[in-house]
Structure 1
Amino acid sequence: MSNRKLNVFLPLLFAVVLALGMFLGHKMPGSNTGGATVFFTKPSKGPLQEVMDLIKAKYVDSLNTDDLQQEAIEGLLAHLDPHSIYIPPSQLQQVNEDLEGNFEGIGVEFNITADTVNVVSVLSGGPSEAAGVQTGDKILKVNDSLVAGNGITPDKIRKLLKGPAGSLVNATMLRQQKQIQIPIKRGIIPLYSIDASYMAAPGVGYIKISKFSATTFDEFLGAMRKLDKAGMKKLIIDVRQNPGGFLDAATRIADELLDDQRLILYTKGKDYPRTDYKTRRPGMFEKGGLAILTDEGSASASEILAGAIQDWDRGVIIGRRTFGKGLVQEQYDLDNGGALRLTVARYYIPSGRSIQKPYGNGHANYDDDIIDRYNHGEMVNKDSIKITDTVLYKTHEGRRVYGGGGITPDIFIPFDTSRFTPTLTAIYTRNTFSNFVYRYFTAHKDDFKQYKDAEAFAKTFQTSPELLNEFKEYAKKDSIPGLDRLSIHDETEIRTRLKAMLARQLWRTEGFYETVNATDPMVKKALEVLEKEPD
């Protein structure tokens, strides 16, 4: 009988409870403020957001609050490590493209001289080549936008040329004093991270890695297969001036060079549990002489690769102490279209050492580190290297290695300070080499058809006295000092650079490095060391 009564009154009880809940919810603080819950007020915005809201709503003058917010974010991050950064919406696409390994555009390299956009190089197999664009063409208009003679900047021309793959660019070009219309269908343009791969000597391959992007590992495998077919027994990997990039790209390359189940690195942070990265598969080059070239511009993923090779005594590190970045960042997208790249952990290489250099004295001090190294004499004398971590670290075979500020090379190669003569400094800073070589090449295209590839060019082309004199006359227009009394060193540098820049016109970075490396001290030392290694 009691159960029957409960069944009758149960719906009525639910109705009363529901009505009471709605009434109390309406009376609760925050119930009409858009809060997500009934019984709790919305979380506080915090003083930083409150101040921003008050400035936007009440301040006497109108302000660009986007700029204000960016400055506030950067001010906050200035109290963290130097690698936690804010990427504003205007820069995020370019930053991501660089690491993703491609963008959508027309596939040309250009420079701007005398307010004119010159096509310096046309990407082989790209949209512009298919449309008939040639090196030496001058871009006058992009669609309806005039780009000649109106103060055009590199950023402006890039925005005009980039766009969704498949869309059309109607370009007006000047070729041999005639205006021509060239419609170009945009496509996916690869951004290569392997700048060069070639046989530097019989049996010795060379690979230049400029960054570690999403495509680097696949590019590396392609380069290795090519060199393997050419008879590679020993290998030089050049990561000079490589700022790093994706951790995964570096660990996968290390996996190709080290035996299975070897620790490459581990990461650890306050809220980031230890994670070990080990080799997992049989690699393409686990045996054979190996040299890694480094300098003060080799950072992050470059240091992971060099450090793992050094700690396992797999190869020799040649060059100068690396940058010293041993922090792991994760990127978080923000509602405004920008992103926060936040440091979440440190990484440690197999010997247990951290590569990260000190940053407790502020960002300015950290940014001046490379200049301080130069002034201290470290760039020219290995004994001047300051070791900030005094803990004893040892490699797999028991050799002493150092932490707390980059990878110290096994073989030190000093920086060539003689490249800073007033004449050479002026030539480099005024872009005289690039501008002259572009003009010379476009005027003498047919003269270069006799060279079938970069190797033939590097072996047989010589910078003639006539070419050198023509360059000197051109350089005088840029007010370059000392051209009539060049030292032997300066003249040799100019001859070498002219040859390398001409090779770049023909075979891009592959041609440049194959040519310039013929006289490069680090490459020569690597070849000398590897020559003594057994096959």
Structure 2
Amino acid sequence: MRNKKLQVWLPLIFSLIMISGMFFGFKLHQQTGSARGFFKKDKRTSLQEALDLVRNRYVDSVSLDSLQDGALQNMMEHLDPHSVYIPANDLSEANEDIVGNFQGIGVEFNIFSDTVHILFVIPNGPGDKAKLQIGDRILKVDDSSIVSKTLPSADIKRMIRGKAGSKVKLTILRNNKLQDVFVTRGTIPIPSIDAAYMIDGSTGFIKLNKFSETTYQEFMDAMTQLKAKKMTSLILDLRGNGGGLMSQAVNIADEFLDDNKLIVFTKGTNSERQEYRAKKEGIFEKGKLVVLVDELSASASEVLSGALQDWDRATIVGRRTFGKGLVQEQYVLSDGSAIRLTVARYYTPSGRSIQRPYEKGKKVYMEELYHRYEDGELMYADSMHFSKKDSFKTNGGKVVFGGGGIVPDYFVPVDTSLYTRGVTRLYLDGRFSNFVYQYYIKNMSEWQKYRTPAEFAVKYQNVNDAWEQLVAYAAKDSIYLKKIPEDDKKDIQNRMKAYLARFKWRTQGFYQVLGTNDDMILKAKEVLSK
């Protein structure tokens, strides 16, 4: 039975880790750096000679760009798992999460029954100003139909997005009536903070999803608001945070650490040791602090949690982190493509390198997370399989280890609800999110009763009605929910409630409602109460 425990989460785990490993972790001052100056143009390489021969002598026509991209990709494969080549066409999108914004119309959409449905409209964004609404169905973009069984979501996104200031014509279906809406695109922020709220009268909660150029300022704004509400203890949630700009993690760590404390240092074969220290009085140097981490917490998340653990400033709760202790810098090549090259390792204040071994290749490296599941590490604290030969001590004398991520002070297992195969299908193929969306649209007047996620979490009582409708909906596809274990039922009901809150209050609502039954948050509150 245990092999079924993570069926729901494994695809998400591997996709997120690939993203975090490939696209996060380079230094801010190198983001727009150029490779010019590193390469001399007066000496042609074998690669250039080969490309010229193909161009001038090959029997058929061929895309030289594709050949060059393939050669560079192959070169990166022989380095560490986090050095990556990014083709010119993909660079702008690859940088979006780091920059913290993109250019578009400011709506979130999903595809249900071959049709694009608007799930959320960013307040005061271009779509909001054009009067787009949740539930609108987009049928055409600039008179080109996007109703298709084969058109990928990524292609639809490219059609809708565009340079700020440009206009796009959307043909939408609302209340069974067709209408054209003209939207002037703008710059849309990508928030680093999913949620920031008071759990109780003294405990604040902040969930960070990445470390982009805007993260530190977002964090400070959230902290200021929480302190104004008399916060004396904080739960900082870094679960699923694949990292980002190390400078942002250093700045946030500075807000928790006093004096001239070392936060992190980096060094590599071709780069000298560089130290990053606390420089100023922080906004929260005294209050109780718990940091939540899991196997998807990587890179800059590990810089922050490692520094706070080494100085005994925070209690770390959760599961062993990913183990990415490599620093990337980005270099733009002459054709507009780029490489993110690992240039150094980072070390926590105690001297730990938390980077996992990668000598056996990228495939083995990435599959290590799956082996954590197979070996029982995600369920049992005493099943952790990593080298403990590199031991270090925190400022207070607690033993910690390098070479395998950050090990939490308090272990919380992954949710071990034994989902049946049918319930797994319900989550993985979109049926669940489709149902919740349809239920939300059909009951729009119901959601107007609630002003805040906290009020909704306490007062919304119709979850049984939603459950009965979900049971009937799933049965149409031979997914039978009536006899599933009670714990599974409660978990699904709680997630339905959280998804409903997300449609009204976005991620803030989702996490605030879901957090009422979150095992890690409950453990963190227990730790804070000691």
- The whole-number CA distance in structure 1 between the counterparts of 2:463 and 2:454 is 19
**CA, structure 1 residues 413+42, in 2 after alignment: closer, same or farther (shift >3 Å)?**
closer
| Residue number in structure 1 paired with 2:500 | 502
Deviations 1:118-167 (A, max 9, x none): 01111111111111111001011112212224643211221121112222
Of residues 170-179 and 313-322 in structure 1, the stretch that sits farther from structure 2 once superposed is 170-179
**1:433-472 pair list within 5 angstroms:** 433-472=432-471
1:327 deviates by 0.3
Deviations 1:435-467 (A, max 9, x none): 111111111111111101111011111343221
| Residue number in structure 1 paired with 2:6 | none
| Residue number in structure 1 paired with 2:521 | 523
- The whole-number CA distance in structure 1 between the counterparts of 2:41 and 2:177 is 68
Of residues 513-522 and 382-391 in structure 1, the stretch that sits farther from structure 2 once superposed is 382-391
Equivalent pair of 1:318/1:410 in contact (CA under 8 Å): yes
Equivalent pair of 1:299/1:323 in contact (CA under 8 Å): yes
| Residue number in structure 1 paired with 2:23 | none
**1:215-254 pair list within 5 angstroms:** 215-254=214-253
1:245 deviates by 0.4
SS at match of 2:230: coil
- The whole-number CA distance in structure 1 between the counterparts of 2:464 and 2:100 is 41
The code of the aligned residue for 2:87 comes to P
Equivalent pair of 1:387/1:402 in contact (CA under 8 Å): no
SS at match of 1:524: helix
- The whole-number CA distance in structure 2 between the counterparts of 1:464 and 1:444 is 12
| Residue number in structure 2 paired with 1:430 | 429
Equivalent pair of 2:76/2:83 in contact (CA under 8 Å): yes
SS at match of 1:418: coil
| Residue number in structure 2 paired with 1:382 | 381
Deviations 1:31-89 (A, max 9, x none): xxxxxxxxxx9743222222222222222233222222222112111111000000112
Deviations 1:11-50 (A, max 9, x none): xxxxxxxxxxxxxxxxxxxxxxxxxxxxxx9743222222
- The whole-number CA distance in structure 1 between the counterparts of 2:519 and 2:128 is 37
Alignment RMSD:
1.5
1:489 deviates by 1.6
SS at match of 1:390: coil
Moved over 6 A (4+): none
- The whole-number CA distance in structure 1 between the counterparts of 2:148 and 2:118 is 16
Equivalent pair of 1:104/1:187 in contact (CA under 8 Å): yes
Equivalent pairs, count: 491
- The whole-number CA distance in structure 2 between the counterparts of 1:413 and 1:150 is 42
- Structure with higher RCO (Cα < 8 A, 6+ apart): 2
| Residue number in structure 2 paired with 1:5 | none
- The whole-number CA distance in structure 1 between the counterparts of 2:416 and 2:72 is 39
SS at match of 1:503: helix
Of residues 160-169 and 399-408 in structure 1, the stretch that sits farther from structure 2 once superposed is 160-169
Deviations 1:208-243 (A, max 9, x none): 000000000010011101111111100000000100
Deviations 1:473-504 (A, max 9, x none): 22233443x32322112211110110000000
Unaligned 5+ segments in structure 2 are 1-39
Equivalent pair of 2:202/2:232 in contact (CA under 8 Å): yes
Unaligned 5+ segments in structure 1 are 1-40
Structure number, greater radius of gyration: 1
Equivalent pair of 1:463/1:495 in contact (CA under 8 Å): no
SS at match of 1:44: coil
**1:14-413 pair list within 5 angstroms:** 43-149=42-148, 151-413=150-412
Of residues 487-496 and 502-511 in structure 1, the stretch that sits farther from structure 2 once superposed is 487-496
1:343 deviates by 0.3
SS at match of 1:511: helix
2:482 corresponds, among 475, 484, 487, to 484
Deviations 1:166-205 (A, max 9, x none): 2212211100100112111111111001000011122000
The code of the aligned residue for 2:218 comes to E
User: Percent identity, aligned pairs only?
Assistant: 48
1:419 deviates by 5.1
- The whole-number CA distance in structure 1 between the counterparts of 2:470 and 2:436 is 9
TM-score (norm 1): 0.89
